[in-house]
Structure 1
Amino acid sequence: MPEIAGARHLLLHSRGNRAIPGLFRIKQRGPRVFTSEELLRHGYPAQPSPDVIYAVFDVEPDTFYAGWEWRFELLKGRKLGILSAEPFAVSLAEVLATHRV
């Protein structure tokens, strides 16, 4: 998905349509691509699915957005249920429009 590969920020969320406060800045454009074996060699803590290719981004907290809270449920393109773990792309302006004041 080209939109994901060109992302500059990352918003994480958990169950119940709750976004983690703040944003993460993606340190370099484009992901690194790993197999499950490569993830394990790099110390990935979970057991990845062996038949999936993984896109890995190097991120760091963006201090400008530290503590900002988001209304994740308002983002268009988000998926529900088990599909909610799949990445999707929106513009930074769309994310900022969901900022809780």
Structure 2
Amino acid sequence: MVRWEVPPTRRLAFVAVLVLTAAVVPVTLLIGFREGGYLLAVALGLAAALRAVLPDKYCLGLLVRTRLVDVLTAGSLAVAVGVVTGLVPTSA
């Protein structure tokens, strides 16, 4: 019998980032754009940090390219989203 399911311990990093990213939509709709944007930046930063420190076998959904490229890409996007979110004017 072939078993295709991935063990839960190997999915934790991806699920953590996915849950945090999914929380962005309700936070943006219910609280505000800025809070949702910062939460998205945190999710991207978490993805970069987890990809940097965890072995490849625990980064299944986060593993796209080499470790360096993944960390630099997610980290750069986290900074960019945080900066752009901070530049958006608040409604008065």
TM-score, normalised to structure 1, is 0.25
Report which of the two has the higher share of helix: 2
Query: Which of structures 1 and 2 has the larger relative contact order (alpha carbons within 8 angstroms, sep 6+)?
Result: 2
Report which of the two has the higher share of strand: 1
Larger radius of gyration: 2
